[in-house]
Chain A
């Protein structure tokens, strides 16, 4: 192998300060404009821009929940209410001795985080609509409690909001305070969005099964995000009550929730800049079109309907010029298996299934299956439709729990039905229909596969501390390696939904390779590939196994199976019909008559 061949091509996946400057430019421009805004000296618009900052603090956090994690949280105004009343009650001294408004703001963040978690918990278990209803119910109840708990909230009469003292005094002082917090939130959410946590959230939204197979802990991650989002909503509430200077339950209508929610959808899911522009737009809209103020919620609703039906991608999609450049028409995936040694390596262990039984109702999909996959070999699993091939993969990767029997990897018994822990056992897989995140770049899709190897925590990612930066550098390097190994490095920056079906299969393999798996499960990787592509895929699979990863290959292309497999198992009706080397199988009488044909 030549040294020059193993360097990672840098041509397409741009890195360095130029790319980050390009990404940061719109935010910097907005920030500068906001800093200079008071020079206009227009105090009316000053209030509106302050309000936009306050709304954005909430929307920035909610964006993580709605835009990234895809959880339809429509009642987030309830957390704004909570934050507002917490700060007001603490500074007005209705519930306890008066405290400094800054301290009250911190308390609002804490209360917001706590209730963000409580409201969010149902999302871990409930179906989408149920969760939407739960958040809606929560926001109604908060308002009712605010009305009834007169001693603290002043009931319908209301309570005075906090006044922030030095150094943020006066209208413009308060404006700069809100701007500072808004900028901080923007920075934090950009950091999260670009981290493995942000990518994992999008994976949960768009490719939940693949996220699970990559070892992403959905509940833990969502709970973290609900805490974060709740804290920001609480802070926004505190600022809101100061901006209003006096709050009553009437101030927290459901319309506000709709505004927050729509700002994100107009902006585009999975973007930070889009929702920021969305929030600015929606805050300013009723002011620009004064006669329409009464109709503003009506217009928001119409806008929401139009976006859902016509442009589900939102502003972010419209601004995504890069992905409108045409791609090369006749692309070929040319894997470079020599890259694999830098990516894989390590000795494998034997994967063994013993007497596995799994029935669905009365159908025994797997009926006493024994199977051994030895280290470094390609093991083919073939059989007619319904013979239990994919079901076997699903048992190994933990999507199905067998009624009896065991799955072991080396000395470790794999817990049945626990898909998420498979990644930590270095078991990776691909899917019959590729499960990729269409809206994310190919590179980001591949990075998902290495999520569990990160060391930095969510907070480190949020503040982009050194350990997180090291994680990202490693992930990026490995992802580029994996992409050049499968031959897709030139498409690293392209959005995955622009790729051809055959290319997506290689993206899935690259993602699986990120785990440096000891076992790789491939579910019909050759389906939909041309003869030439199948040949290259075969060579790639063979090299993967030689680099130390055993491969279990489910496939219908008999030629591919017999070309590259070291051993083959034939299933029929959930039982092993035959097992042996390709030559033995090819001449096995029953296999020939039942499956291969003469």
Chain B
């Protein structure tokens, strides 16, 4: 039992962590919390099942196509739901516009793909052990994403530009950085990461339109608790959340886990609205 708690918990946690990183990448580039993170995760599963399972494309082709779709959706999100409301960011219209866009895609999926959860194809033709590919694939994806982002941010010029925008977009623009193009690129990157989360977690979570709400919420919890923008918080928080949920599922039942996560989420944020690792923002009068 302990193996299944650990393996399943860590795997789900890795998916949460990746969705959390998706939130972070979009937030860093635009100061916008976008409801589309969960949508990207959901689509990663559905599109994977569509391309590989239904259309019979080779795994690698399907994989690349899913990531490409994620990137395109990220770009569309930026153009349709983020850019028009960025000017008046203090009115928080982005909450509504990104929610509306995410719902559009979710409903389209529900109608075209169906509201039943459908199986996700096995990606690698090897036999399963207790630590199956459906468990180690999300973990691998999460590790690869962290390493990749770290290399991108620390070693490349584009990555440093991302950081500059995240730190102070006015100053970055004053330095001549193409803020808008970098923001578009960030949303494309977030799209890829979100789709990767859904794709690698597909066998476990199935291709199901309802995953959107679950991933939106449980992907957000670790970032909110760890502090917005912190990928380390997202990974640690995501894995911990996954383990806790699975342990509670096995030991006391899933409802308890859901209620407990919610209560912890609310309680921590009420005590420390900026998250456990974040710093309080000053106010302007």
Contacts and interface: CB of A to CB of B under 8 A. Distances in A.
Nearest to B214: A140
Nearest to A71: B92
Nearest to A258: B103
A283 B216 CA distance: 27
B92 A128 contact: yes
B213 A254 contact: yes
Given A304-B96, A309-B85, A312-B93, A144 B254 contact: yes
Nearest to A303: B100
Contacts of B220: 133
B95 A128 contact: yes
Interface stretch (B13-21, B46-54, B259-267): B259-267
Interface string A136-149: 11101100110011
A130 B269 contact: yes
Contacts of A298: 103-104, 107-108, 111
Interface in B222-267: 224, 253-255, 258-259, 262, 265-266
Contact of B100 (A128, A294, A301): A301
A136 B214 CA distance: 10
Contacts of A394: 285
A217 interface: no
A519 interface: no
Contact of A132 (B80, B95, B100, B255): B95
Question: What is the size category of the interface that chain B forms with chain A?
Answer: 35 or more
B95 A301 contact: no
Contact of B217 (A125, A126, A133): A133
A282 interface: no
A515 B153 CA distance: 54
B208 interface: no
A137 B103 contact: no
Interface string A147-178: 01100000000000000000000000000000
B270 interface: yes
A258 B85 CA distance: 20
B103 A72 contact: no
A136 B217 contact: yes
Given A148-B255, A305-B104, A308-B85, A134 B266 contact: yes
A72 B253 contact: no
Nearest to A133: B220
B100 A122 contact: no
A399 interface: yes
A141 B283 CA distance: 34
Given A125-B269, A297-B103, A138 B262 contact: yes
B269 A304 contact: no
A399 B282 CA distance: 11
Given A137-B217, A148-B255, A301-B104, A72 B269 contact: no
Nearest to A310: B84
Contacts of A138: 262
Contact of B262 (A137, A254, A304, A308): A137
For this complex, into which size category does the number of interface residues on chain A fall? Answer: 35 or more
A204 B215 CA distance: 32
Contacts of B254: 144, 148
Contact of B96 (A133, A137, A265, A295): A265
A254 B210 CA distance: 10
A121 interface: yes
A134 B268 CA distance: 12
Nearest to B84: A309
> Which of A133, A144, A209, A304 counts the most chain B CB atoms within 10 A?
A133
A21 interface: no
Contacts of A133: 216-217, 220, 224
B99 interface: yes
A297 B107 contact: yes
B123 interface: no
A404 to B, nearest CB: 19
B101 interface: yes
Contacts of B265: 134, 137
Contacts of B262: 137-138, 141
A136 B253 contact: no
Contact of A145 (B84, B85, B255): B255
Nearest to B281: A127
A297 B85 CA distance: 23
B33 interface: yes
Contacts of A312: 93
B273 interface: yes
Interface of B: 33, 80-81, 84-85, 92-93, 95-97, 99-101, 103-104, 107-108, 111, 213-214, 216-217, 220, 224, 253-255, 258-259, 262, 265-266, 269-270, 273, 283, 285
Interface of A: 72, 74, 121-122, 125-130, 132-134, 136-138, 140-141, 144-145, 148-149, 209, 254, 258, 265, 294-295, 297-298, 300-302, 304-305, 308-309, 312, 394, 399-400, 431
